[in-house]
Amino acid sequence: MIQIEVVVEISQSPSVVFDYVIDLGRSVEWQSGIKESYLLSEEPMNVGSRYVQEASFLGQRLKTTFEITNFQPGREISASSIEGPFPLKVTRIVEPWPGGSRFTTRVESDPGRYFKVAGFILKKMVESTIKKDCANLQKSLSS
């Protein structure tokens, strides 16, 4: 089981950060591996809504369908994969912080045999990617 948490401070209000993060069309702007991301359900996004993310990772194109399991507007969103190469849960939390917001990303995954051989290396690679993505988000919202 891989568990990763990355936290960054962003000089924007929580509502600006949250709205940017849940805008699936903007995922390609700050998430380095994402090639396409789109909502399958009708708007507005809420618990039970489903979306697809197509990503490139380790030279492979991965398509994952997620279902939103927790949605607290302006504060928190969690989604779990329901179709894809391996189980994945992503939680994003935005909190007020002096000078803006504190943004937390938590990722839990069990890649099983899909990447079993890579174990420790895989965790470091995913953690590095998430840190880069959070820095991209920070930069995108600070301009």
pLDDT digits over 38-64, tens only? Answer: 999 999 999 999 999 999 877 889 999
Q: What local confidence, expressed as pLDDT, does residue 63 receive?
A: 96
CA gap 135, 103 in Å, rounded:
11
| pLDDT exceeds cutoff 70 at 94 | yes
Q: What local confidence, expressed as pLDDT, does residue 2 receive?
A: 85
CA gap 121, 31 in Å, rounded:
20
Q: What local confidence, expressed as pLDDT, does residue 114 receive?
A: 55
pTM of the model: 0.91
The percent of residues in the chain predicted with pLDDT above 70, rounded, is 92
Mean pLDDT of 8-12: 97
| pLDDT exceeds cutoff 70 at 122 | yes
| pLDDT exceeds cutoff 70 at 67 | yes
| pLDDT exceeds cutoff 60 at 115 | no
What residues contact 23, with CB distance under 8 A and at least 6 apart? none
Mean pLDDT of 74-80: 98
Q: Which residue has the higher pLDDT, 114 or 10?
A: 10
Residue 116 — pLDDT band, cuts 50, 70, 90? low
Q: What local confidence, expressed as pLDDT, does residue 117 receive?
A: 56
Arithmetic mean of pLDDT over the chain: 92
CA gap 22, 76 in Å, rounded:
10
CA gap 56, 73 in Å, rounded:
29
